[in-house]
Amino acid sequence: MGVQIAPSILSADFGRLADEIGAIADADWVHVDVMDNHFVPNLTLGLPVVASLLKHTSVPIDCHLMIEDPDRWATGYAEAGARNVTFHAEAADAPIRLARNLRAAGARAGLALKPATPVEPYAELLPEIDMLLVMTVEPGFGGQPFLDVVLPKVRRARQLVRDGAHAVWVQVDGGVDEDTIGQCADAGADVFVAGSAVYRGDDPAAVVRRLRSRAEDVSASAWWTTGGQA
């Protein structure tokens, strides 16, 4: 799999969500941020809205659950038809069991790490998941500045994934725009979430194209695609 772009509808017009997803029809995923006002200090939407969106789009849905007790709630999103369901390492009691439940329900399983959460303790879990989400802002809000302090962790995540036998995507989320996406691709990310960068202008599809082109250019000569060292 090459570069994948996942616009986040957190920065879209919530009154016109189906249309807003229609505006990024060439994207690989639509990233849906579920927040419960407990794990993060913000409240967005939940399973009923995701279930409705699934009826109105053919773009696969990437659910990013910023919620407490994902062990209880996450599998419902997979059962509803979300193609990827990502839960936070900091919130899950039994991440292996949860990842297995997500896969059994037909979804890809994603594991998310807040900026201060190290990746190394999760190295042994990589065979159980399909995507590692390395947050490049503190989760909770769109439009925050990119934390380049997290880039070495993206690099270590890619190294761990490359050392393993099973293909795991490395996703970045937060502050990703046309200026920062190159650094993320260079470090080792291959799935890029962008909210405000895509939806703040009047041509979301053009932004998706430019983000993809920039990420493809940089990753073509990055250490992790050319067999180099981190």
- Nearer residue to ligand DX5 within complex by CB, 43 or 220: 43
- Angle formed by the axes of helices 70-80 and 47-56, nearest 10°: 20
186 touches Zn ion by CB under 5 A: no
- Nearer residue to ligand DX5 within complex by CB, 157 or 197: 197
- Catalytically active residues are 33, 173
- Please compute, for residue 101, the number of CA atoms within 13 A of its CA located in the half-sphere on the CB side: 18
Least distance from ligand DX5 to the Cβ atom of residue 194, Å: 5
The answer to whether the CB of 30 falls within 8 A of the CB of 59 is: yes
DSSP H or E run through 153: helix 151-163
- Nearer residue to ligand DX5 within complex by CB, 4 or 8: 8
Which does residue 175 bind out of ligand DX5, Zn ion, none, counting CB within 5 to 8 angstroms by kind?
Answer: ligand DX5
Q: What does the binding site for ligand DX5 look like in residue numbers (CB under 6 A)?
A: 8, 10-11, 31, 33, 64, 137, 139-144, 173-176, 193-197
- Nearer residue to Zn ion within complex by CB, 119 or 222: 119
CA pair distance 128, 101, nearest whole angstrom: 10
Least distance from ligand DX5 to the Cβ atom of residue 114, Å: 10
173 touches Zn ion by CB under 5 A: yes
DSSP H or E run through 109: strand 108-113
Which does residue 95 bind out of ligand DX5, Zn ion, none, counting CB within 5 to 8 angstroms by kind?
Answer: none
Non-local (6+) Cβ contacts of 214 within 8 A are 178, 181, 182, 185
CA pair distance 26, 208, nearest whole angstrom: 8
- Segment 39 to 68, residues that bind Zn ion, using CB under 5 A: 64
Binding site for Zn ion (CB under 5 A): 33, 64, 173
